[in-house]
Structure 1
Amino acid sequence: MCLLLVAWQQHPRWPLVVAANRDEFHARPARRAEWWTSPRVLAGRDEQAGGTWMGVAEGGQWAGLTNYREPSRPRKGWRSRGRLVLDALGHSPEDFRANLDPDTLQTDYDGFNLLFGDRHHLFYVSNRDRPLRRLAPGFHGLSNGLLNDPWPKVHRGCDALQQALPEALDHTIDGPETEPLFTLLRDRWCPPDHELVDTGVSLAWERRLAPMFIRSPEYGTRCSTLLLMGADGSVHFAERWFDAGGEPQGTRHFQFRA
């Protein structure tokens, strides 16, 4: 993922709402979200490295990952960062938290951010930030910097998520209304140059990467993913995928009870 927006304990019936975009090179092979046989998780699959960027397990554990953008730093991590998501999905949040080794995260992985938890817990860990922490209720945003960094897309996304929640979650009988959440993730507004984040890439790439929804011939938003967890254990997971032109190619919805 390259954008994770989270509403944590902001609605009495839906304690967790996640709206996320996965940005990647179009040439990198990947499979759409489906139930895996082993481990038993619902997630997309990175066909190149074998991991995933976001998923949810039968027991209600979930995790989502973004890469930390640092082009000047040589890549040396020998473990796939997408495997961290699978590791998180295979354990309770408390057990996964307890077994994380900060030294291994630093030496074995390139820069990453990981959000993980269930409907009762939400944790954040990064090997480019201070130690793992439990997140307070509120709206949280994560792109390719650190959690809640003041990036324009992060601010804009959290504001949009807060505004979309009533339409998506209130007055619904058969479950949440996902279209307001998918719509906010299609935002292609680009901030003016003086507001762009300087992450060490060229100005042209900073402009290209600045919107919430990215569209370019070689790199862009490949899919949008929604995850909603109810206080009663119900789980709604939806994925919409896009072609290289940024046009939607289909949507799948999954519902189950953790």
Structure 2
Amino acid sequence: MCIALFTTAHPDYALVAIDNRDEYILRPTSRPQWWTAEVDSHTTANGSANDTDDESTKTQPKTSTKIEALSSVDLQRPERGTWMGITKGGNFAVLTNYRETDTGNAEHPVSGMRSRGGMVTAWLTADPAESTEEFVHRMLSDGGVKGVGGFSLVCGKLRRVAGGKNINPLAIISNRCDHAGQVPWICEERGSVYGLSNAIYLEQSGENKETLWPKIRDGKELLSRAVAAGGSEEELIASLFKILDTDNFPSEHTINLEEVIPLLKNSIFIPALGGKDHQQEMCEAQESGSVEMKGRNPSAAETVTPDEQQPNGFQAGLYGTQRQTVMLVDWEGNATYIERALWDCSGNAIPRGQGDETFRFRIEGWEQEDELCN
């Protein structure tokens, strides 16, 4: 039950975003890294991305653009997707799964033929000339979200709006949306706090408190307090990781995941959970001391094929919060991106802070005036 929290309330930062990736701890995953992709595109005379060859659009010849993106990589599926990432050009995305309650619903499978993580990389590798709004329309109108397990994707092009203390809004795409008109937009207003977990965004953030998941309610409150407390950047980062460590889960952890799914929405941090079989698998992985997969330019040969008896994907070992991420973007477009690993690839716990990797860079085109996307 992943969680992503965002705020535009901090005076020194245009955006603060934090995230917990909850997953099977042994699921093979690389550490964060810069990676590149070549994108073929062509633009019309007005500079917008266009995929038609109609001469009436005055389309210019295709060009190849190199995208530089920062993210970890899921090594479980051949798509090499991810749950959170950002490009040097400011394309930013975070994904959470949708918690399916009807596992027999063919229209909304628990695990689709296509990777959810591919939705993040679809935006990270989009034509830089494509606006967030154009991406939303493309994904929802051209079947871009079909064949994927339930998800919500927060995505947008991080830009400072000219002449003001605002940033371009972020869209929340879901394959529960039928058309672009149903897509919520967030972060366009200063002083706001937002939360997203494993349900439709509006169900979690509406005024009806009965629909607000406890972990979202707690996360938004704690994030507001952290912003109000002030302090140095180092102190802020420490407080943000403390939020991600908030554990309201019952003390009994030797229990099958299926039995505790209703409880996962109560706790921001999910401790390592699993029944006897999963506990045994974890012990075996720790004892084997398997070679760590760094994931640097992983080849197809490194793909771990899901067991045919596991239709929902990788389900070995214990389940819990596997990675934590903090991202800060200041008013000059300087980004600080910190990912914290809590476990190594053999399932051994990593002391807090020792699994941190930090990246600092300036977003290219931060001051460039973009059209607002909603």
Normalising by structure 2, report the TM-score: 0.60
* Percent of pairs with identical residues: 34
CA-CA distance at 1:19 after TM superposition: 0.8
Find the aligned partners of 1:171 and 1:219 in 2 and give their Cα distance.
34
Instruction: Check the 8 A contact 1:20/1:225 in 2, yes or no.
Output: yes
| Structure 1 unmatched ranges of 5 or more | 192-200
**TM alignment of 1:3-42, pairs within 5 A:** 3-7=3-7, 9-38=8-37, 39-42=67-70
Q: Is 1:61 matched with 2:161?
A: no
Instruction: Check the 8 A contact 2:334/2:360 in 1, yes or no.
Output: yes
Instruction: Check the 8 A contact 2:4/2:94 in 1, yes or no.
Output: yes
Q: Is 1:188 matched with 2:218?
A: no
**TM alignment of 1:191-230, pairs within 5 A:** 202-207=258-263, 210-217=266-273, 218-230=318-330
Q: 2:60 matched to which residue of 1?
A: none
Find the aligned partners of 1:165 and 1:78 in 2 and give their Cα distance.
41
Q: Is 1:165 matched with 2:227?
A: yes
1:32-64: per-residue Cα shift (whole Å, max 9, x none)?
A: 111113352110110012100000100112100
Q: Which stretch of structure 1 is more off in the superposition, 132-141 or 38-47?
A: 132-141
Q: Which stretch of structure 1 is more off in the superposition, 90-99 or 231-240?
A: 90-99
Q: 2:213 matched to which residue of 1?
A: 151
Q: 1:48 matched to which residue of 2?
A: 76
Normalising by structure 1, report the TM-score: 0.85
Cα pair distance change 1:176/1:234, threshold 3 Å: farther
Q: Is 1:255 matched with 2:294?
A: no
Q: Is 1:78 matched with 2:113?
A: yes
CA-CA distance at 1:129 after TM superposition: 4.3
Instruction: Check the 8 A contact 2:249/2:270 in 1, yes or no.
Output: no
Find the aligned partners of 2:145 and 2:92 in 1 and give their Cα distance.
22
Find the aligned partners of 1:53 and 1:14 in 2 and give their Cα distance.
23
Q: 1:89 matched to which residue of 2?
A: 124
Of 237, 244, 254 in structure 2, the residue corresponding to residue 178 of structure 1 is: 237
What SS does the corresponding residue of 1:45 show, helix, strand or coil?
coil
C-alpha RMSD of the superposition: 2.5
Q: 1:109 matched to which residue of 2?
A: 148
Cα pair distance change 1:177/1:204, threshold 3 Å: closer
Find the aligned partners of 1:105 and 1:58 in 2 and give their Cα distance.
24
Cα pair distance change 1:111/1:103, threshold 3 Å: farther
Cα pair distance change 1:190/1:204, threshold 3 Å: same
1:54-77: per-residue Cα shift (whole Å, max 9, x none)?
A: 001001121000110104234263
Find the aligned partners of 2:14 and 2:338 in 1 and give their Cα distance.
17
Aligned residues: 245
CA-CA distance at 1:164 after TM superposition: 0.7
Find the aligned partners of 1:214 and 1:246 in 2 and give their Cα distance.
15
CA-CA distance at 1:94 after TM superposition: 3.6
